Amino acid sequence: MALVGRKFPNIAVDAMNAMGDTFKVNIFEEAVNKGKKVLLFWYPKDFTFVCPTEIRAFQDALADFEKRNTIVIGASCDTPEVHFAWLNTSKDDGGIEGVTFPLLADTNRNLSTLLDILDIEAGEYDEENDLVLVEGSNVTFRATYLIDEEGKIFHESVNDMPLGRNVAEYLRLVDAYTHVQEKGEVCPANWEEGKDAMSATRDGVAAYLSSH
């Protein structure tokens, strides 16, 4: 079920940062209480291959998100201890040392289950052990959520495991949503900051199309 237009689940999850601090993070409250947008991105596993390239890309763009009043938070189903180890492992050894934003540790999979982003499905029934076997790795796909200052989701996307994200697109989406908030205009295809938007009327669309 699409979650765009709905409030983000109001649930706290364990988190870890590079300093070794373990704390609870509630994404909904982060947005509402701080009056900020939140970009939450999920990745499958620590100490893997595509994941560190994405995490470093978000870190490289962190100042750009902060300029846009947007908090960046990563998330997986790894434990806080594994996060801490990865955060303090050098790049040469496959780590993400130098990353400063927190990583959620959804080990009980409460939040990822609510979001329905886990790679898992029911398999065959094991009659002898009275157990339904599961298929899939029970880790998350590469899901991304943008949440506004009222806790509402204004973007969601889910990539399969091998497909890394384009971080610049999320900056564009934040810019577009902020333009809508501030100007009351809508943003046409391929809109970027500084380009023309348009009013959401028949005349507005006609005027935009005639000039482009």
Catalytic member of 39, 51, 82, 173: 51
- Residues, the chain: 212
Predicted TM-score (pTM) of the model is 0.93
Contacts 24+ apart (CB under 8 A), 19-24: 20/84, 22/80, 23/102
Predicted confidence at residue 128, as pLDDT, reads 81
Predicted confidence at residue 191, as pLDDT, reads 95
For CA atoms 15, 120, 95, 173, the dihedral sign is: negative
Predicted confidence at residue 134, as pLDDT, reads 74
Distance CA 25, CA 27 (A): 6
Structure-token pair, residue 49 = 């291959």
Q: pLDDT, tens digit, for every residue of 120-142?
A: 976 777 788 888 777 889 999 99
Predicted confidence at residue 71, as pLDDT, reads 98
187 is catalytic: no
Predicted confidence at residue 122, as pLDDT, reads 65
Q: pLDDT, tens digit, for every residue of 65-76?
A: 999 999 999 999
Q: With respect to CATH, is domain 12-165 assigned 3.40.30.10?
A: yes
Radius of gyration of the chain (CA): 19
Q: Which of 10, 35, 13 is nearest to 23 (CA)?
A: 13
Specify the residue for token string 């949503």.
177
Q: Which residues in the chain come in under a pLDDT of 50?
A: none
DSSP 169: H
Specify the residue for token string 């300029």.
67
Predicted confidence at residue 132, as pLDDT, reads 73
Domain limits of the chain? 12-165, 166-212
Predicted confidence at residue 121, as pLDDT, reads 77
